[in-house]
């Protein structure tokens, strides 16, 4: 079976259509793979750690799609959320903040390399 990790880096604070488009495409790919019963994991990394708080808002244009794939969200990079000021907002969404890999200068980050170790293909948006 195909295994895919989708990493969302785009920054909602940019306010750009490009950032929103990247988010939609990432979530839509997750939706398609989930529909096909493939193994898929969505990861919020870098400035993308700001997305969960936005997506939790019922009036956000991607809210419905997010709700449809929320069960395949693997987590939010904890160290990235700390750096980008998204920690408290991400916590409020109930998603897992992951600090599993010690990286100098951070309290730890979500270990993307572990997905490669498990045979996942990485797709970034």
pLDDT of residue 1: 79
pLDDT given at position 60:
97
Average model confidence (pLDDT) across the chain: 96
Query: Which tens digit of pLDDT belongs to each residue from 40-81?
Result: 999 999 999 999 999 999 999 999 999 999 999 999 999 999
Q: Within a 10 A sphere around the Cβ of 44, how many other Cβ atoms?
A: 32
Residues 48 and 9: their CA atoms lie apart, in Å, by 4
Query: In whole angstroms, how large is the CA radius of gyration of the chain?
Result: 14
Could you tell me what percent of the chain has a pLDDT over 70?
A: 100
Q: pLDDT-derived band of residue 100, with 50, 70 and 90 as boundaries?
A: very high
By DSSP bridging, strand 73-77 and strand 3-8 are: unpaired
Alpha-carbon distance of 125 to 111, in angstroms, equals: 17
Is the pLDDT at 105 greater than 90, yes or no?
A: no
Checking phi first, is residue 105 left (phi over 0); if not, alpha (psi -120 to 50) or beta? left
Q: Is the pLDDT of residue 94 over 90?
A: yes
SS3 43: strand
SS3 label, residue 86? coil
């Amino acid at each position: 079976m195909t295994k895919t990790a989708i990493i969302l880096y785009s920054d909602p604070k940019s306010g750009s259509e490009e950032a929103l488009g990247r988010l939609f495409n990432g979530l839509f790919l997750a939706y398609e793979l989930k529909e096909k019963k493939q193994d898929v994991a969505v990861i919020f990394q870098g400035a993308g750690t700001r997305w969960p708080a936005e997506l939790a808002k019922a009036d956000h244009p991607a809210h419905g799609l997010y709700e449809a794939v929320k069960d395949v969200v693997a987590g939010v990079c904890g160290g990235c959320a700390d750096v980008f000021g998204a920690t408290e907002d991400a916590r409020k969404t109930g998603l897992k903040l992951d600090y599993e890999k010690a990286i100098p200068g951070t309290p730890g980050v979500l270990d993307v390399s572990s997905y490669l170790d498990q045979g996942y293909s990485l797709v970034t948006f």
